[in-house]
Structures are given as C-alpha cells and as structure tokens.
Structure 1
Amino acid sequence: MQSEGSPSPSVLLLEPFYGGSHKQLIDLLKEHIGGCSVFTLPAKKWHWRARTAALHFSQTVPTCPSYRVLFSSSVLNLCELVALRPDLARLKKVLYFHENQLVYPVRKEQERDFQYGYNQVLSCLVADVVVFNSAFNMDSFLSSISSFMKKIPDHRPRDLDLLIRPKSLVLHYPLHLPDVSRLLPKHKLLRTPFHVDDTLEPRGGPPLPWSDPHESRTEQCPGSGGGPGVQVRPLHIVWPHRWEHDKDPELFFSTLIKLKEKKLEFHLSLLGQTFTDPPDVFSEARRQLDGHVLNWGYLPRKEDYLQVLCEADVVVSTARHEFFGVAMLEAVHCGCYPLCPRALVYPEIFPAEYLYNTPEQLCKRLQGLCRRPDIARRHIVRVDTSSFSWTSLRERYETLLAT
C-alpha cells in the first residue's frame, strides 16, 4: 500500500507488517506528522515479510529528492534496503522495535531461526537512531547480542552492542486513548478513590473475609443503583491478546478451568486477533468454558472492542513474551483491574500490587476476585495511562522524525 501525505513528503514511513500495533503506529504518525509518505505490506506471513520486504520496497518506493527521514519497524531488513537503494542510505534512518528476535520466545531454542535476530542486529548497525518501545525491550536486546553471536561457529563479531547502544533510546508506544466515558457502566463512573483495604491481601493484616462461593452472593456493588440484597453480577474476566502460544493461553485456560471446578462464578470475554491457525487449546477451552463465555473472538470494530473492555472487571495477561502490552493498557484505560506476570515489561509499567509470580498466585488472585467482584469494581488502578498517550508523547516523536 502507498499513501502520499503531501506533494513534497519529507518522511518515508515503511511497514512490512501493517497490522495490530504496527498499523496503529503508522496511522498515528501519518495523521499527525506532516509530510509523510507511507508504504506498507499486509500483516500476513510474518516470516516472509522479514525475509523479503526490503527487496519489495526497493522496487516500489519511488526516488524522491525531498525525503529526509526514513522510519521503519525492525521487521524490515534495513541493511538490505539501503544497499539496494543507495539514495535512501543518505536519509536519517530510524528503526523502531516493537519486539526483538533475540529473546522472542520459541518452543525449543534449537528452533530459533538465527537469521531474524541477525537481520535486526545488522539493521541497527546501519540505522542512525534505534528506538525501543520499552526499557525491557532495549535492555534485553542489547544484553543478548554477545551471547547470540556466539552461535556463529567461528570468526564471531565482537562488541556490537557498544556500537548500537549510543544511538539507542526508549520511546514508549503512543496509545490512542479515546474518551470512553459514555461506554462505562455506572459503577466505573461513580467509583470512590482506592483504599488500601480494598486489596485482596492488605499489607499489615489478614486477607479480607471471602464469602462462601456456594452461597447466593448479595453484596451491594457500589454504583449498581440497587439496594441491599441485589444479586451481584459474576466477575467479568477479559483476555485481549493474540491467539498464539507466546501469550500462553494454556496457562490462562487451565486457571479458568480450576475456577470452574471450584464452582466459582465468572464471565469470560476472549478477544484478540488470529494471524495463523490458533493453537488447539482454544477449541477445547471453548467447549469446557462454554457456559461462562460472553464474547469469543476478534471484534474488528474498535467501538465494539472498547465496549467489552468497559464492561469487563479484570484483564489478565499470561504472556511469555511482551515488550510493551498495548492491550493491557487499553483495558486499564477502560477501567479494568490488571493481573500480569512479574516479568517481561510489566514491572516497568504496573505497580507490584498487579503482578503475580506463579500460576498458583494468579489462580488465588482470581479466586478472591470471583468471590468478591466488588473489590475490582471499586478499585481505581494506579497506572497513569495518559503518560503513554499520543498527547504526552507527540513532541518526542516530532523531534525523532525531524531532520
């Protein structure tokens, strides 16, 4: 796809995998940064995009003397592109890392294709600025280069991280956070400020008393509009991630099945895109959890997606790979209580109270919230999502794309 942003564009935006967060970023830059010319490829067959996009763009991007800056995600082999198109080599070359292939999880380490990580290292070497969406992404990449290069049987390059680090920086992914107040249920709009004793395991005291899950629960949910004795809606859990193994759906589903076996009440919305055939665990989980499902599958209309997030109580990540976590922050923006692993990028963004160490801890936290959904519904999450918004980050992106 090609899109001309002005008669004399100065910024060339290239995206070999135009989907998901990659697409959102390109669209945001095109809309708000003047003088952009955009070339993309559909978000299909990621491995082939990483292998061949440079050749494709070398033939489809016209020569343009007004170009001053080239911006691309690290899916592109920038080294190949500038070798094929010397006219682009003179531009200020900005490489943006949504993820990195040096620590991207594979089911077996021997299955890791050396070429993808190697291409990213080469691209960094020819780039003028290397941008990472989180400190975790940057640190994990730079600290892994040396051990990664040891896979080469002999004549190994050395100290490449010392060449790349000085031109590296962290610039968080800019979220588009629309006003969702009209979509929020009444209890989210009327929430009272958070108190320490609203947590599942308050510091300095025993856990809050939990009602018997087999009893009919009649706690009053603040803001529900009813009086004492109103039946409390079951906890609504949302999982808004890609349907792939690196998001560890196996852990998520096994946890929910344990909740079901304990006869705890909950509702489930399973969102997120599927780019390949989803793991078999999804169809089996659909059968086992059928009575709990409210939404199952990708919602292409953003309005519908935000509506579900606004209706949900808790958003869960079980990821084994996450370099930023757009979906989690979008859910928090819509008033969801987050539960994330104490690993990857999450400690960089979420306070400790939202992190779990083990699958057992995740299960215990969800058990508590199923028994006391009012805890999640009263809670005001201590994450300032506005700091990740385009409004907050715009000036830094404008500076990045300035000549």
Structure 2
Amino acid sequence: MSTLIIEAFYGGSHKQLVDLLQEEIEDCVLFTLPAKKWHWRARTAALYFMENVPASDDYRILFASSVLNLTELVALRPDLGKLKKVLYFHENQLTYPVQKCQERDFQYGYNQILSCLVADVVVFNSAYNMESFLTSIGKFMKLIPDHRPKHLEKLIRPKCQVLYFPMKFPDVSRFMPEHKLPHIEKTPGAEGNGSTDLFMDLPFQEKNGGTTGLINVTNPDHGPGHSELRSAHSSSWPETLHNLPTTLEKLEKPASSTSTNLSQAEDSQYAAFNLSSVSGRSGCQEKPLHIVWPHRWEHDKDPESFFKVLLKMKEMELNFHVSVLGETFTDVPDIFSEAKKALGSSILHWGYLPNRDEYFQVLCMADVVISTAKHEFFGVAMIEAVYCGCYPLCPKALVYPEIFPAEYLYSTPEQLFKRLQNFCKRPDIVRKHLYKGEMSQFSWAALRGKFRSLLTTEPREDL
C-alpha cells in the first residue's frame, strides 16, 4: 500500500509540504517537476506525469497540489483515476491577484474547478483559502458567455476541508539574542524528533490550547465547522487596531540618535551576509529597530507599499535597520533596486538566503516582521518569523485575521507607518512584548494524525 505524491511545482511551500509528507508518512512515492515557469506547469504537467509515473498495483492514494490539472491526468491515466484522489490547495486561481483584470487567464481557475470535481477530497491550507475559492465559483463561471454550468459550489463543498499547512522547525535558541532568551523554552531535538510538544514551547507563546486545525464541511447549511468558518471571516471583527499598551500609543520621546548602521555595500557583500554587527548578545536594547520582510519579490506581495512606508521613515530620520529576504524570479519589480539605493546604510541584508540556518538566524535577530501582501492564503514566512520571536504586522485582510490576533493587524499603510514610527522610538517595548496568538495548531505535531488519516484508505476490490 503506497501513497503517490505528485507535485508539479516543486519549490517553496509546495516542496516543504511534500518533503515533510515523504519523510513522515510511510510508503510515499514522490514525482515532481522543478518550480519554474508556473503557467506551463499548470498547462502541461499532466502530460509529463502521464509518461513518467510508472504503473503500480501498490498505489492506493494520489496526493497532488492544485497546480496539477488532475482532470487531465486521470483521463490520461485511468489506473490513477481509481485511486483515492486528494487535492491540496496552497492557493487558488479564482482570487489570485493580477496586475490588470484582462491578464487573468480563465483556464487556470477553470482547471482547478474541474480538478475539484474529479477529486475525492479537496483540502485547503486555510479557511480563507477555501471560502474565497468556493464563494467565487459562481461569479467566475459567469465569464462563460452562455450555457454556463450550475450548482458547482454545492457539488464541490461537501468534499472540502481545511488542514493547515504543517510547520516543523529546528531549535533556534542558539540564534536568539539575549533579550529573547527569557521567553523561549528550548525543545531538544525539535528537528523531527516526533515530540508532540514541538510547538507547545515556542518563543513568545501562551499555552492556552487552540483549535484543531481541521474544519470539515460536509453540509453547507449547518454544522460547527461551517459556522466557525463564517465567524472567522465576518466583517464584525473587533476594531482593536489601536489598542496597544499605553507605552506604545503615547510615545513622545525620540530614540537615541546613535546606531550601529552598516556602511553601503555592493551586491556581493549583501549576499555574503555577516551577522557580526548585530548578533552580539549584549546591548540589544540600544540597537535600532530591526525590520524584516521575508517574502517573494513579486507584485502580489506589494513591495511598493512596504518600501513607501520605509522611505517615509527614512525621510523623517527614524532609526531602523531592515533585512529584505525572499526568493526572486525572472521579473523583479523595479521598486527593489530603487529602494535599495534609497535605504542605503539602513540595510542589514538584501537578498534570498537558501541556507535555512542563515535564514532563521536573521529572523531571530529581527524585531518586527511585516507583510503588505495583496495575496496570502496561509503565510509560512510570517509564522516562521513569529516562531523566531518577531512581532508581526499584517494587513487586516486575506488570511491574516484567521492566523493572528487583531492587535497585530493594520488597515491602511498610514496605520502601518504609525506603528513602526512608535516602535522605532521605543524598540525595547517591542522586544519585551509577548506574542498573544496561538501557534500550536499549525505544528506538525498537532497535524500529523490528520495528515496520516487523510493519506490512508481501505483496500478496494476494484483496484
């Protein structure tokens, strides 16, 4: 009995998930395509896997991400169509932002709808991802000029469930600066020791239980899973954006003008990141606020808004450092080169860090992690940064109200600027802050059983 895992875009969180499943689930067989040319993977991957996945009587389950056109694959390979087919959505193309409306290719979203219809189980990495997809099907199908199919949401919804992306982290206490050490309880052997306590002892964590991380939707009209989803995305979220401690809201005294800014360097010097100037375990309270932005360098992460706020801070001579991480692809928005020149000596690191230890080291040394995304269905990078003790600031939209308490959300760029301005004046307040959210629901320790259940099935006589 084995699970066949097919990943048409083997990179980023897609790679992280299937590697974890192959490592932790017995009898998994993995077939992949490199994480390049996403659009062509969505168009043609089924034909590639038709030719390259060998037939086997041992397969019982097919697990694939929604990049794959599952409908095409099972039509081309009827033997695979007989398996229990599990489709996992890291994102959905019905609500994925495009720079211009006319740039949206109908086929990608249409393929995902068809894949849902042939799948046995459809899994989303967040309730926001699931609801935004299901409730957009009707509007999306109206793009067809005539003879439109009906009731597709009702056909698909009973198959759907939320299973959060499973997070598994190494022990990062060795990277923590002194001011974070009192808030972290070291978890020995965190890199896959199977301990159920892996995420119960995270830095800045309150141990007050949490949700199961799995929401079954078997009836669109009633049931606890569905009602919880609705309430999670209700417009009645409390407006507590400014309910910070008084010490943060009434800051008047400017911070010291002394800093440990790095001098301007060439690209190669930025790439060879050196923490020697910031990783000392003494004097952390006097150092400038360290802001990190760990996202892909693409338009849907809205780097323009992020850099606009930082450049305004720079103009006001606020004291801060910034590390801009994340992967780059073929087309990098122009704002990155412009911002790099303008931010100058405020930059601590600039560029992607493929080495995970170096990446986590930067996160551990940072104070605040920022998202300005126009698209986010889960947000692995933000959760990793919070795990490393960063204070998160996220838009009050997308998946973020589902993941983070309202205190960490902002509604406008002006509110983001105000928060960062206050933090720059008193970075010590940020460094003493205890994160108030619940993170254990996203851990592999909490989700392991649900993934194992998902990837098991009873033998069928017709296989």
Q: CA shift at 1:200, angstroms?
A: 7.3
The equivalent residue for 2:402 is: 348
| RMSD (CA atoms) | 2.1
Counterpart-to-counterpart distance in 2, 1:67 and 1:231? 56
Structure-to-structure mapping, 1:72-91, within 5 angstroms: 72-91=64-83
Query: Contact conserved, 2:205 with 2:438, CA < 8 A, in 1?
Result: no
Q: Give, in whole Å, the separation in 2 of the partners of 1:276 and 1:383.
A: 36
**8 Å CA contact 2:63, 2:86 repeated in 1:** yes
State the partner residue of 1:313: 367
Quick one: distance in 1 between partners of 2:258 and 2:345? 18
| CA distance 1:84–1:191, shift in 2 (3 Å) | closer
Matched AA of 1:114 = F
Q: Residue type matched to 2:13 in 1?
A: S
Give the structure-2-normalised TM-score. Answer: 0.80
Q: Does the Cα contact within 8 Å between 2:61 and 2:84 map onto a contact in 1?
A: yes
State the one-letter code of the partner of 1:300: P
Identity over aligned residues, as a percent? 65
- In the aligned structure 1, how far is the partner of 2:160 from the partner of 2:100? 30
Q: Deviation at 1:204?
A: 8.1
Cα offset for 1:376? 1.2
Residue in 1 that maps onto 2:252: 210
Query: What's 1:236 paired with?
Result: 290
Q: Is 1:200–1:208's contact at 8 Å kept on the other side of the alignment?
A: no
Residue matched to 1:99: 91
Which of 352, 361, 368 matches 2:422?
Answer: 368
Give the SS at the match of 1:279. coil
Counterparts of 1:264-275 in structure 2, within 5 Å, are 264-275=318-329
What is the aligned partner in structure 2 of residue 164 from structure 1?
156
The 3-state SS of whatever aligns with 2:348 is strand
* Aligned-partner Cα distance in 2 for 1:102–1:293: 37
The answer to whether residue 129 in structure 2 is matched with residue 127 in structure 1 is no
Match of 2:219 in 1: none
TM-score relative to the length of structure 1? 0.92
Give the AA of the match of 1:289.
L
One-letter amino acid of the structure 2 residue matched with residue 268 of structure 1? V
Structure 2 distance, partners of 1:202, 1:334, is 21
User: Counterpart of 1:293 in structure 2: which amino acid?
Assistant: I
**Which letter maps to 1:82?**
V
Structure 1: runs of 5+ lacking an equivalent: 1-8, 218-222
Q: Quote the Cα distance in structure 2 between the aligned partners of 1:225 and 1:46.
A: 45
**Matching residue of 2:213:** none
Q: 1:151 aligned to 2:205?
A: no
1:109 Cα deviation (Å)? 1.3
In the TM superposition, what is the alpha-carbon distance from 1:326 to its structure 2 partner?
0.2
Does 2:447 align with 1:393?
A: yes
Residue 75 of structure 1: CA displacement? Answer: 0.0
CA–CA distance in 1 between the matches of 2:138 and 2:340?
A: 43
Q: Which has the higher contact order (CA 8 A, sep 6+)?
A: 2
Does the alignment pair 1:178 with 2:220?
no
Partners of 2:245 and 2:298 in 1: CA distance: 36
Distance in structure 2 (CA, Å) of the matches to 1:29 and 1:42: 18
Number of the residue aligned with 1:69: 61
- 1:254-282 per-residue CA deviation (whole Å, 9 max, x = no partner) reads 00000001100100100001122211111
Equivalence for 2:23: 31
> Displacement of 1:191 after TM fit?
4.6
- Say if 2:248 and 2:422, in contact at 8 Å, map to a contact too: no
Separation in 1 of the partners of 2:115 and 2:180? 45
Is contact 1:133–1:323 with CA below 8 Å preserved after alignment? yes
Q: Structure 1, residues 348-401: CA drift from partner, whole Å, max 9, x if none?
A: 010000000001000000000011101210011112323211111000000000
Between the aligned partners of 2:50 and 2:38, the Cα distance in structure 1 is 18
- The 5 Å alignment of 1:211-360 reads 211-213=253-255, 225=282, 232-360=286-414
For residues 201 and 26 of structure 1, the distance between their equivalents in structure 2, rounded to whole angstroms, comes to 40
Residue 47 of structure 1 is matched in structure 2 by: 39
CA contact (8 A) 1:200 1:368 kept: no
- Structure 1 segments (4+ residues) deviating >3 Å: 191-195, 199-206, 213-217, 223-226
Shift of 1:80: 0.2
Give the Cα separation in 2 of the matches to 1:78 and 1:136: 23
Q: How many residues align?
A: 384
Q: Distance in 2 between matches of 1:211 and 1:81?
A: 63
AA of the residue aligned to 1:78:
L
**How far apart, in 2, do the equivalents of 1:243 and 1:203 lie?**
33
Describe the superposition over 1:203-254 as per-residue Cα deviations: whole angstroms up to 9, x where unpaired: 789923332247559xxxxx9756xxx9710000000000000000000000
